[in-house]
């Protein structure tokens, strides 16, 4: 069997972190097994689906390094859905239901009030021809339901949750088509998975009941049933579902200068028994991907953990990987010096200005002013080399008697405007002789 997975977003908005995780796991599972990964745009909601969201979904996946092997759109498959719907009608597996939304809501409230589960009572199966004629005279059109087979439980072995068993008599016959003829999620998704040869469906645990229904749909078409993996949902650091997780998307990550490798490294591992590590090669993550490592507990998404992971990954990136995002003129040597001080790449311009200037010197007391005058004189007399910082501070230590912080800190502050940063032995050669002398002169003027 050749593995084929799919990511099937509705282009009615931007991808959020939960969508990204689902896409990633489908993509990684396909890559591990030498299979294919399909992007399927579930765009049957013509009012809410927008081309701008289609473009954004493609761009977001590309930025994260997930390139689909193929793409399909449900909006191009209406004729196929009609064809398969007609088969279900002919076999008696779908039926029209005439209740209004208000009538169905009232039924549910009555059932709940009696302590019963709000399951559809199949009243539509007993509607007479005269009643149908009366409904049609009112201008009503029916919605359509898939008739579940109550003969035995629905059972499957979930790749994450283990054996799953549903009693179909405790499920409502799902609505598959609205009164206006538009499709709901269930049937088109099943037909697509069947036609497109999807072997594994990876999605959130909120779809478990949908899977029970769709298994019967596959069987109604006498089609192979894919394997299913239902992941625990993401939660925030407080252990609750967070509204922020529902809105945190690629644009937000990019605005905060989060590297795509950090997002991938975190979402690949949270919710599993594997440690979250700063891995920059997605192939390494894909090789170790295994649904047996996934737990049933909610997967905790911690933005602070992402920030720390991002910092570690930035420190691992070589110059070639970031060259097109660095300030003009920043060499590989300069990147190596500045990189260890970055939390994220958005800080690189500020650190490059420390090298190129201008910088604001410190407010000096008389003692430090005298010290910097001696430092300026000593620097002007020294030969410039890659060991200039060591040579310079050794001379000053001997001539002034200063040591430790009193020796180094006034020099750092005068040359960089800061009291922290890269090792001065690496930074001073980047600043250069003329700029260093000018900054010392400015500090004591």
Burial of 20 (0-12, 13-18, 19+ CB in 10 A): buried
- C-alpha pair distances (Å), 343 with each of 17, 234, 281, 346: 21, 25, 20, 8
- Beta bridge pairs of residue 40: 72
d(Cα 338, Cα 327) in Å, to the nearest integer?
A: 12
The encoded tokens of residue 319 equal: 């110059």
Name the segment(s) of the chain with CATH classification 3.90.800.10.
79-177
> Token pair 């993550």 is at which residue?
285
CATH architecture for residues 4-73+186-235: 3-Layer(aba) Sandwich (3.40)
Chain center to CA of 30: 18
d(Cα 441, Cα 107) in Å, to the nearest integer?
A: 85
Name the segment(s) of the chain with CATH classification 1.10.1160.10.
244-314
d(Cα 318, Cα 103) in Å, to the nearest integer?
A: 64
CATH architecture for residues 244-314: Orthogonal Bundle (1.10)
Note the pTM of the prediction, 2 decimals. Answer: 0.90
d(Cα 195, Cα 80) in Å, to the nearest integer?
A: 10
Name the segment(s) of the chain with CATH classification 3.40.50.620.
4-73+186-235
DSSP string, 225-243: PPEEEEEPPEE-TTSS--T
Instruction: Please tell me whether 107 is known to bind a ligand.
Output: no
Per-residue pLDDT of the chain (445 residues), as tens digits, is 799 999 999 999 999 999 999 999 999 999 999 999 999 999 988 889 999 999 999 999 999 999 999 999 999 999 999 999 999 999 999 999 999 999 999 999 999 999 999 999 999 999 999 999 999 999 999 999 999 999 999 999 999 999 999 999 999 999 999 999 999 999 999 999 999 999 999 999 999 999 999 999 999 999 999 999 999 999 887 776 666 777 789 999 999 999 999 999 999 999 999 999 999 888 899 999 999 999 999 999 999 999 999 999 999 999 999 999 999 999 999 999 999 999 999 999 999 999 999 999 888 899 999 999 999 999 999 999 999 999 999 999 999 999 999 999 999 999 999 999 999 999 999 999 999 999 999 999 8
CATH class of domain segment(s) 357-444: mainly alpha
- C-alpha pair distances (Å), 211 with each of 118, 226, 227, 228: 19, 10, 10, 8
- C-alpha pair distances (Å), 398 with each of 99, 374, 412: 95, 12, 19
CB 361 within 8 A of CB 439: yes
CB 372 within 8 A of CB 441: no
Rounded to whole angstroms, the maximal C-alpha distance in the chain is 110
- Beta bridge pairs of residue 155: 165
The encoded tokens of residue 344 equal: 């994220």
* CATH code matching the domain that covers 79-177, chosen among 3.90.800.10, 3.40.50.2000, 2.40.37.10, 3.40.50.300: 3.90.800.10
- DSSP designation for 11: S
């Amino acid at each position: 069997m050749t593995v084929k997975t799919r990511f099937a977003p509705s282009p009615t908005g931007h991808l959020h972190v939960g969508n990204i995780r689902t896409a990633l796991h489908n993509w990684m599972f396909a890559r591990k097994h030498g299979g294919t990964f399909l992007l399927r745009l579930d765009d049957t909601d013509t009012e809410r689906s927008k081309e701008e969201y289609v473009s954004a979904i493609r761009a977001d996946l590309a930025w994260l390094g997930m390139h689909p092997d193929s793409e399909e759109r449900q909006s191009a498959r209406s004729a196929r859905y009609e064809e398969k719907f007609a088969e279900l009608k002919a076999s008696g597996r779908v039926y029209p239901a005439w209740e209004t939304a208000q009538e169905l809501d009232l039924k549910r409230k009555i059932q709940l009030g009696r302590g019963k589960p709000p399951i559809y009572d199949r009243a539509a199966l007993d509607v007479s021809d005269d009643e149908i004629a009366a409904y049609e005279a009112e201008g009503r059109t029916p919605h359509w339901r898939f008739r579940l087979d109550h003969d035995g439980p629905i059972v499957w072995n979930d790749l994450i949750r283990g054996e799953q068993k549903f009693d179909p008599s405790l499920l409502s016959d799902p609505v598959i088509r609205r009164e206006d003829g538009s499709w709901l999620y269930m049937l088109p998704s099943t037909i697509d998975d069947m036609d497109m040869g999807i072997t594994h469906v990876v999605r959130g645990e909120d779809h478990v009941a949908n899977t029970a229904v769709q298994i019967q749909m596959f069987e109604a078409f006498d089609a192979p049933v894919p394997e299913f993996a239902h992941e625990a949902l993401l939660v925030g650091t407080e252990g609750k579902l967070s509204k922020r997780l529902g809105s945190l998307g690629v644009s937000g990550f990019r605005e905060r200068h989060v590297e795509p490798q950090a997002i991938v490294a975190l979402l690949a591992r949270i919710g599993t028994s594997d440690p979250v590590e700063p891995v920059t090669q997605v192939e390494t993550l894909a090789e170790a991907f295994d649904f047996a490592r996934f737990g049933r507990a909610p997967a905790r998404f911690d933005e602070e953990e992402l920030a720390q992971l991002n910092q570690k990954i930035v420190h691992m990136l070589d110059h070639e990987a970031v060259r097109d995002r660095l300030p003009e003129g920043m060499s590989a040597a300069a990147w190596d010096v500045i990189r260890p001080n970055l939390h994220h790449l958005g800080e690189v311009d500020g650190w490059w200005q420390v090298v190129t200037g201008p910088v604001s010197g410190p407010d000096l007391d008389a003692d430090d002013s005298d010290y910097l005058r001696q430092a300026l004189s000593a620097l002007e007399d020294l030969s410039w080399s890659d060991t200039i910082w060591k040579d310079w501070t050794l001379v000053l230590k001997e001539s002034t008697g200063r040591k430790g912080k009193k020796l180094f800190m006034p020099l750092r502050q005068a040359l960089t405007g800061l009291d922290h940063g890269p090792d001065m032995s690496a930074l001073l050669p980047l600043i250069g002789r003329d700029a260093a002398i000018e900054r010392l002169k400015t500090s004591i003027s």
